[in-house]
Structure 1
């Protein structure tokens, strides 16, 4: 079993890991959970609402993955209600026009966000300030089955350009002496350590391609509350 030295651990800000199921909504989950983790007390926010508005802004369908610029625009421009305002759907409705928020979702909460430096050292610096951060990376087979909560690539394992995923970085430390980043995934509590895992620098550094830092709360225009 690997020896893990924890230097920063922000998991206490979050509730149980959530599960996106088979939908391509990882970026909405990562952004939503990061947002909720910055608020006082853990209360999940509506991933469905945030994903809907990001797709609307980007002109993308419910079956497509989201784009980071549109996700950040939706977070600051449309915000999110609590999860109960529009609970997450296992699948969108068959008719595209039927995929829309309920008439009443409750108050929406917005937050500014910016794309940030994707260097692993920059991620650790942000975490050391007490801020979780959204990271987007390519995947490879070792990610799918962490060993004792650790993801490190097998010899010769290469990033897979077509396999891309978003998670929340919630801590950093060392695994057997190597720097590593602790992430919160959106594949349920059965993945890794109750939905979390340590990504060694050997795995993360060649695969990370974007990050986003969420900042101050912003007021959401009242017009955006209605779909």
Structure 2
């Protein structure tokens, strides 16, 4: 097969303890999925789950023990961090039941959903899609994937983020409004999940702005931490 130009490289994520890599197909994200974060965004209650997607080129894989780098994106003056547990799908399916959902997860990782909050807010005011606030290049840094069998009690793990060594976000995965099984059940009714899909499961309270030069360090207990530095705008 020939192409009119060289196709981009396959997006992929390193795997803990292996030279193999996890190929990325799609990136799904769950909105407002921790109670306290929903409150800080002006919402209360257990609203129906909703989702948005990021392109595969949003993924910035970071190796264990290294600090990745992402450029401060264009157009924004209010870039926010959102630390998240990422579920990595190894077995696809449609209309997956919650009781069987965890069997579809290949592994877990720590991710960041970077957000151009000012652009997102403006689109919300206008009733327009807010892809410009979420689905941009380098907006989904992610650390190495730990296979599910080695990840421990992810559902009750502590999740945290520090910026320049100072605590910004700290909670537990048990405070998800919609848990991992329910998330997969809901997503798979709207899309057919497939191997290589990443699901960013939501962020706890404490989201705030970052600037060029800041270093973000985040983690989920039992998983490899993620470290990212914000570089100057390109």
Higher helix share: 1
- Output the TM-score relative to the length of structure 1: 0.27
- Output the TM-score relative to the length of structure 2: 0.26
Higher normalized contact order (CA 8 Å, seq sep 6+, divided by chain length): 2
Higher strand share: 2
